Each structure stands twice: as structure tokens, then as C-alpha cells.
A and B are shown apart, each in its own frame.
Chain A
């Protein structure tokens, strides 16, 4: 076969998408959020259901539950965090590589829930920054999937390149995007 085709080639150019690097990288990111399942109570059972066939979290690219913090992107705190456990939760969060996000799943992780007691941390946001709170006791898997979709929207607005160390050559380009800096502020809460 002679490979001397010039000009418009629909087989190639029909598949070309023009976009910004930031948008492309964010698209990669948001569709493969690997969760760190911080399962601490009954919410973890719903988290397992979300991962199983009926609800199938892999439809949203988040099926790869990583039991190593170093390989995960989003920590799903599913359950009651006691003060004794709080140190371990914080430590695991700190071991996760940037960029990282946190979903507080259920009433206990969000606020301490019904456990107004000496032993229970009154909301995981006291020790780690939370991006998405999920209501429910426990929330249904759909609610967790909704939280994941909301987190994906947030991730899609976060600049990737602008967040990196900018070399002198790139500096002019990134400074022209003030809307990215606005979108990068946390929307959780």
C-alpha cells in the first residue's frame, strides 16, 4: 500500500478532537478515580453493594478499590470514626498521593451521626478536608454514586497543568486562565 495520502483524511482527521491539555487531563482523572475504601461500619456494606453488580460503580470508573493509600485518589470514609481510629484515618489520608479527595459517606462520617458520645469523632472534617458529604444512615448505593458524579464534576473543574510547577515558557499561558483558579477552590461543605 502506498502511503502518500495528503490533504484531508477522514479516517484520521475525523477522530481528532481539539481541546486544552487541562481539560483532557481532567477528563482522564475524573473517569478513573480509584477509591481508598475506609470502611468502618455499616456504610461499608453499602459501599460494597455500590461496587457489586447491581449498582456497579465501575460504570463511573471508580471500581478499583485500592487498599493501599499510595495507589488511590479518593478516600471514601464509610462509617463511624472513633477518636481511637481518627489518628489512623488521618495517617492514611496523609499517605495518599496528591491529588486526593475525600467523600464523607453517611451521617457518622459527616457529623458523628447518632453517636453523640465520648468515643466518636464528631465529623471526619475535623481531621481531613472533605469534598463531598453524603446524607443517609446508611446512604443507598445510588447516593454514593451521586456523590461520585458530583466529585467528578468538581475534579473536571480543577486545573491540572495550572496546578503544577510552571516553567518559564508555560507561565504566560497559565496566567490567562483566572477562571481555573476560581474553580479550584473547594466546593465541599
Chain B
């Protein structure tokens, strides 16, 4: 019976130069991919040789203030052996580009479009890299940390417009596990509270 750690070891053996040692935390194994340019190759090997036939999720992360700014996380699993592995790679803001894995798992198509739409990370070789949630022509990438929650004004005539939402002192957040309703209900709170 293959374990995630053993499979991660096999993957590392194959790509020693661009993979860090697997880290296990609470039963989940993560491998850091140091060279984002080789991600397609690594993923193809993981799928074809190691049996990771299912891309559970692919998401971009904005590590605002850190360099490199973007992280892209690949959650992969094999339905036959039931093991789960996480690949994590980083891309600088200047580059904001890495190869697509949609040629490996077709399901990556929409995930990569979402990462592009929300953060502006481009996936080279993607067959159809259009926005998926916002409309074509929207000028911002709304899940970036420096984008205001209320949004910004934009206008694409005949297509769509946006205006900043009135936050009225918000965002209103709840405190989980508060002792009474007043404590638990959504209120405008400073991050220190």
C-alpha cells in the first residue's frame, strides 16, 4: 500500500533539482516546487507514473508584502491508491506567469482561469485563458490584497459597470465562540479586537 509520503519521495527522486523535501503536517504531505517553469513536467510524471489522476484543486495565493508575491497550490490525489499530495510553487509579481497544467488534467482549465481572473496570474499554454467570474474587460483583479473590499469604479459601455459598495464603517465581522449574542453578532471591529 503506497503512502503519500512514499509517493512524494518517488516524485522527489525524479525531480531532485527542483523539489524540496516533502513536509508532513497533520497527515498531509506538501512538496515545494522551487522552479515553477517545470511544474507541467512534474505534474505529468505524478499523473502518468505515480497515479495522481485527480486534480482536486488549483488555487492562487497573494502573499502581499512578500517576495515572490504569488503562490500557486496544486492539490492532487489518486483515486486508485487514495493518496493526497500538495504541490506548492511561487511566482514573482514581475513575471506573474507559469506553464499551464491543463494539458495534464483537463479540470485545471477552469481553475487556472479563476486564478487568472482573481489575481492576474497568467498560465502559459492555456487553451482559453479568459476571465471566468468577472466579465471580459473588467480592469482589476479583485482578490489581490491591495484591492479594496468595496471595489472600484469601472465602466465598459454596453457590457457592465461597477461602483464601490457603501461599507458604512464595515466590514462587519463575527467573533466565533462569543459568550453572548452581542459579542457574536456581526459588527465593525478593528483587527486587534
Contacts and interface: CB of A to CB of B under 8 A. Distances in A.
Interface of A: 83-84, 86-87, 112, 115-120, 122
Given A84-B134, A84-B135, A116 B160 contact: no
5 contacts: A83-B161, A84-B135, A112-B165, A116-B165, A119-B133
Interface residues of B, number: 23
Contacts of B170: 116
Contact of A118 (B152, B159, B161, B171): B152
A119 B160 CA distance: 11
B166 A116 contact: yes
Interface of B: 133-135, 140, 142, 147-152, 159-168, 170-171
B134 A116 contact: no
Contact of A83 (B147, B148, B160, B171): B160
A116 B150 CA distance: 6
B160 A118 contact: no
Contacts of A116: 149-150, 165-168, 170-171
A122 B160 contact: no
B150 A118 contact: yes
Nearest to A111: B166
A122 B161 contact: no
Nearest to B162: A83
B172 to A, nearest CB: 9
Contacts of B140: 118
Given A84-B134, A86-B161, A117-B149, 16 more contacts: A83-B135, A83-B160, A83-B161, A83-B162, A84-B133, A84-B135, A84-B160, A86-B160, A116-B170, A117-B151, A118-B140, A118-B142, A118-B150, A118-B151, A120-B165, A122-B165
